[in-house]
Amino acid sequence: MLPLQQGPGHLAENVMHFGRVLRAAGMPVGSDRIQLALQALRVAGLQGRRDFHAVLSACLLGRIEHRELFDQAFELFWRDPDLEGRMRALLLPKVQARDAPQPAAENRRLAEALFPPRPQELPPPPPAQEFELDATLTFSAREQLQKADFETMSADEWRQAQRLLAQLRVAFEPLRTRRGKRANHPGRPDWRATLQTMARHGGELWNLRWRQPRTRPPPIVVLADISGSMSRYSRMLLHFAHLLGHADAQVESFVFGTRLTRTTRLLKSRDPDIAVAEVVRAVDDWSGGTRITACLREFNRRWARRVLSGNATVLLITDGLESGEVGELTFEMQRLHKSCRELVWLNPLLRFAGFQPRAAGIRSMLPHVDRFMPAHNLESLGELVAVLARGTRASPRARGKRLP
């Protein structure tokens, strides 16, 4: 076994480049993990490809759901017929994406991170022609993008999805309030306005005035899970919350992982990218662990009376995979459900056709929601917009059983 500190080579540089590829593919790999991998390789040494894979996965892999992506990236990045010999000699050259074949990976961000397009390899542009053609996004491409999963989108698809999301027309169910306003058509008589009119005209009944109830959209409260398994979806759904906040409704937004953080003021910026970036910078537990029970308890005790007044609708965005005990989760969900007008649970796990609520956290939360909807692509967000516009509340018997 040959220690890494002996002999010249480019292995450390390639490990750093491999970490950048994983980060571009969507994995939270920071410089601290790359430095840890280099230190571990100096201690463990290199005896074969399996040991090399084990050391890198232990240092760079943070969550179990990223293992498949890591294995694909490892096989494609460190593809070399004499890899073991090169590792022993510590003379592994830089991986050239130009000579490597294109991968058949399911994750498009991995393919884009490993094999970025090179401007010099593109064919020369065709000669200029006289006709005009707008083909930025055809109907079939738009339809395909509507059904694409946020987790598997490439960087270009992600930007296109943000533009399509900004074009959504949001409407809300009008709620009647106790206050009224004057109306021109017959309805409820406005005796005060009628008497004032009679007084101005010498006591004669000049015209009967009418009044109708005022309407306003229901307040929206967003509770978004930003743990490692939800960070990609929560980022797009925060764009959706920003869209709701700049419509007619009053929106309060919170994010939670291991702790609860109010992000309403951070989403006030007119630019959604700047607003979401401010949220990511302000939150310390982004893409970390999850404590659903503790965060819901804090919301119910500290914020519920402040933001759930006026028949608010709560959008709970989480996969329901609680890491700890779920004994108190049922009580907190029941308390949250009783405090709001409607509780809508948005779960990206519903993207799977054969989804079954087998996890203990999901089973304890499901009986206390009014709607259980997917939230993994633009099509599902369009369905959510239609639900907010209709505002038809599910019956108590159907709560927890409405699976799309």
Per-residue pLDDT tens over the stretch 286-327:
888 889 999 999 999 999 999 987 688 999 999 998 876 778
Provide the token pair at 64: 């179990």
Greater confidence (4 vs 128) lies with 128
Looking only at the bridges linking them, the beta strands covering 210-216 and 220-225 are: unpaired
Domain ranges of the chain: 11-117, 176-216, 220-398
Task: Write down the pLDDT at residue 204.
Answer: 60
Q: Mean of the pLDDT values across residues 120-139?
A: 51
CATH superfamily for domain 220-398: von Willebrand factor, type A domain (3.40.50.410)
Task: Write down the pLDDT at residue 207.
Answer: 72
Query: Burial, 188: exposed, middle or buried (Cβ in 10 Å; 0-12, 13-18, 19+)?
Result: exposed
Neighbouring CB atoms inside 10 A of 113's CB total 23
Query: Burial, 125: exposed, middle or buried (Cβ in 10 Å; 0-12, 13-18, 19+)?
Result: exposed
Q: What separation, in Å, do the N-terminal and C-terminal C-alpha atoms of the chain show?
A: 56
Task: Write down the pLDDT at residue 44.
Answer: 78
Bridge partners of 215, per DSSP, are 176
CA distance linking residue 36 with residue 29, whole number of Å: 11
Q: Please give the mean pLDDT across all residues of the chain.
A: 77
3-state helix, strand, coil in the chain (%, to 5): 45, 10, 40
Give how far Cα 177 sits from Cα of 56, 73, 217, Å: 60, 56, 10
Q: Tell me, what amino acid is at 94?
A: K
Task: Write down the pLDDT at residue 73.
Answer: 83
Query: Burial, 128: exposed, middle or buried (Cβ in 10 Å; 0-12, 13-18, 19+)?
Result: exposed
Greater confidence (97 vs 380) lies with 380
Q: What is the pLDDT of residues 362-376, one digit of tens each?
A: 999 999 999 999 999
pLDDT exceeds cutoff 60 at 399? no
Coil vs helix vs strand at 223: strand
Question: Residue 186, Cα to own-chain centre: how many angstroms?
Answer: 47
Coil vs helix vs strand at 264: coil
CA distance linking residue 287 with residue 62, whole number of Å: 10
Q: Are 290 and 322 in contact (CB under 8 A)?
A: yes
Closest CA to 217 of 269, 174, 176: 174
Task: Write down the pLDDT at residue 203.
Answer: 60
Neighbouring CB atoms inside 10 A of 345's CB total 25
DSSP state letters, 270-318: SSHHHHHHHHHHH-SSTTS---HHHHHHHIIIIIHHHHSTTTPEEEEE-
Q: What is the pLDDT of residues 250-300, one digit of tens each?
A: 899 999 999 999 999 999 888 888 999 899 888 988 888 889 999 999 999
Q: Mean of the pLDDT values across residues 380-394?
A: 79
∠ CA 327-333-335 to the nearest 5 degrees? Answer: 110
Torsion, Cα of 29, 238, 69, 404 (10° steps)? 160
Give how far Cα 72 sits from Cα of 93, 103, 111, 114, Å: 20, 9, 10, 11
Proportion of the chain above pLDDT 90, given as a percent: 24
Q: Mean of the pLDDT values across residues 197-226?
A: 76
Bridge partners of 221, per DSSP, are 252, 314
User: In which band, very low, low, confident or very high, does the pLDDT at 134 lie, cut at 50, 70 and 90?
Assistant: very low
Minimum mean pLDDT range among 55-69, 187-201, 311-325, 385-399: 385-399
Q: Structure pTM?
A: 0.63
